[in-house]
Amino acid sequence: MKHVKELKSHADRVKEATEFVHTRDLSQATYRLGYHLMAPSGWMNDPNGLIYFNNQYHAFYQHHPYDPTHGPMHWGHAISDDLVHWNHLPIALAPGDRCDQSGCFSGSAVDDNGVLTLLYTGHNVINRERDTFYQNQNVARSIDGIHFEKSSQNPVIPSQPEGMQHHFRDPKVWKENGSWKMVVGSTEDERGQVLLYQSDQLETWSYEGVLAKHNGGNEGYMWECPDFFPLGDEHVLLLSPQGIQTEGDRYQNHHQTGYFVGQYKKNQFERGPFKELDYGHDFYAVQTFLDGKNRRIAIGWMDMWESPMPSQKEGWAGAFTLPRELLLKNGHLYMKPVDELVALRETEIKLPSRNIANSWSLPLQGQKIELVLAINLSQTNAKGFGLKLAQAEDGSEETVLFFNAETKTVTLDRSRAGEGVTGKRTAPISWNDQLHIQLFLDRSSIEVFLNDGETVLTSRIYPRETSRGTELFTFNGDVQLEDSVGYVLKTVIA
C-alpha cells in the first residue's frame, strides 16, 4: 500500500518558517541597517496589518523566509512599545491552505472586540508560465496577539465582482458608524480602481460599489495597497498604482505611491488629482494606522520592484521606512518623522551659523547619522548648493543632495552611491526665506524630509563601510547656514 504524504498544518508551517528564518547569522552583513525594521533574514516587502493594539505597535510584513527573493508570501510580525525598538515575534501567517495556496498577500489588521484580527489576500496560481491566478480575501484571528488561526469560513470574499480582471488584492479595513468597511485594489478594462465593501462581523461582506477609479488619464492599470481615511475635514485615498508612465521628472520609479484628497459621503469619494507622496527611488506600498495619540502614522516599503538589491547576496532584502506622521495642509500631505525617533540620538554635534563658499566638511562622519539643518535663503546667493553624504575620502563614492535655486528643485543623485544603484530623482520644493532639512542616513538608506515634511525623498544606497564623510558645498555663490545640529545615531535593530 502506498503511503499518502500528510499535509502540514498551518501551525506546523508557521513553526518551520519561524525556525528557519532565525538560522542565518547576518551579524557581519555589510548593508544591514541599524535602526530600520527588517526581517531577521530572507525577503521582506509590503507593510501589512499596522496597528496600535493593547498599547503596543504591531507591524506585519510580506515575507519569504526561505530565500532573499520574492516567493510564496508569509506574514512576518514584529512588535514595539515606542516605534523605535522592535522585537520579532513568530511568523503570523504561512500559505498553503485551500484559500491561499500560493501566498498570503497584503492586508490589514483590526481590533475586533479585543481579538487581533488580520484580513489578507489569498493568492492562488493556476498556471505560473501563463501568469494566471485568482485572488480572494481571508480572515485570521489571534487571542494572544501572537499565534493566528485562519477562519473556517475563508475565503470571506471568494472573488471580485463579475466582469473585473483577476487583480483583486490588499484589503484595508476600518470601522465606520458601527460597521466594518473595506477597500480592495482592483482592475477593470486595464484600469486601476478601488472597490468598497461593508460587513457587520468580518466573515460576511456586501459589495458597495467602486469607491474611486481611473479617470482615463495616466493613472495606471492596477491600484495596489489602497488605504482610505479621514484627515482633518477631508478624506485621503493612498494607493500604489502600477503602470503609470513617466512624465519628465515625475513617475520615474517602476511603480508609484501617491494619494488623492477629496470628500467622502454615502460611499462616494469625490477626489482631486493624483499626487506623489515620496519622490525617492525606493518607496512603495505605504500603509497607515491611528495610534494611541490619535496620530495618523505611515510606514512604507523602503525598496522598489526591479531595483538593485545588493543585500540579497548577504541573505536578506527589504526594509521599512522610518515611521512618519501624516498631516494634511491645503490639500497636500506632509510626512514628518515621528517624535519618538529622538531616542536614536547618541552624540550631538552642534553646527554653528556660518557663511559657506565652495565647500565645508562637516565635523560629523559616519553612516548612521541624522542632520537637522537650516539654510537662510534670504542671505544665500548661490545658484545651487547641496550635501555629499557617505562620501569616500578619495571622492569615489558619495550620495549627493543638490538644491537648484534657479529651478527651485531638489535632486537626490545616486550616480556614485555605491554598489549596484544609480539614477537621479528630482522634486519641486518651496523656496521661501528658510529651507529646513532633516535627513537620516542608515548604512544603506537615506530619508530626506524638507520643510517639515512637505517634500520627502527615500532611497537605498550601498556604499562601502569606509565611505563616511559629510560635506556641504555651494555652486556659484555662498550659502548661509543657520544654527544647525547633527547626531550620531544608535544601532537598535539586530
End-of-domain residue from the set 315, 337, 359: 337
Which residues carry out catalysis?
46
Q: Which CA distances in Å does 338 have to 380, 402, 455, 483, 487?
A: 30, 25, 16, 22, 16
For residue 1, tell me if it sits in a domain. Answer: no
Instruction: Return the bridge partners of 320, or none.
Output: 301
End-of-domain residue from the set 337, 371, 404: 337
End-of-domain residue from the set 289, 317, 337: 337
Residues 406 and 470 in one domain: yes
Residues 417 and 354 in one domain: yes
Listed in sequence order, the residues at least 6 apart from 334 whose beta carbon sits closer than 8 Å to its beta carbon are 326, 327, 328, 452, 453, 454
Please give the chain's pLDDT, 494 residues, in tens.
444 445 799 999 999 999 999 999 998 999 999 999 999 999 999 999 999 999 999 999 999 999 999 999 999 999 999 999 999 999 999 999 999 999 999 999 999 999 999 999 999 999 988 889 999 999 999 999 999 999 999 999 999 999 899 999 999 999 999 999 999 999 999 999 999 999 999 999 999 999 999 988 899 999 999 999 999 999 999 999 999 999 999 999 999 999 999 999 989 999 999 999 999 999 999 999 999 999 999 999 999 999 999 999 999 999 999 999 999 999 999 999 999 999 999 999 999 999 999 999 999 999 999 999 999 999 999 999 999 999 999 999 999 999 999 999 999 999 999 999 999 999 999 999 999 999 999 999 999 999 999 999 999 999 999 999 999 999 999 999 999 999 999 999 86
Listed in sequence order, the residues at least 6 apart from 452 whose beta carbon sits closer than 8 Å to its beta carbon are 334, 336, 436
Query: Would you state the pLDDT for residue 129?
Result: 84
354-361 and 332-337: which strand pairing?
unpaired
Contact at 8 Å (CB) between 473 and 489?
A: no
Residues 28 and 175 in one domain: yes
Residues 331 and 382 in one domain: no
How many independent structural domains does the chain possess?
Answer: 2
Query: Would you state the pLDDT for residue 6?
Result: 57
For residue 86, tell me if it sits in a domain. Answer: yes
Handedness of CA 199, 201, 203, 204 (dihedral sign): negative
Residues 111 and 80 in one domain: yes
The CATH number of the domain holding residue 245 is 2.115.10.20
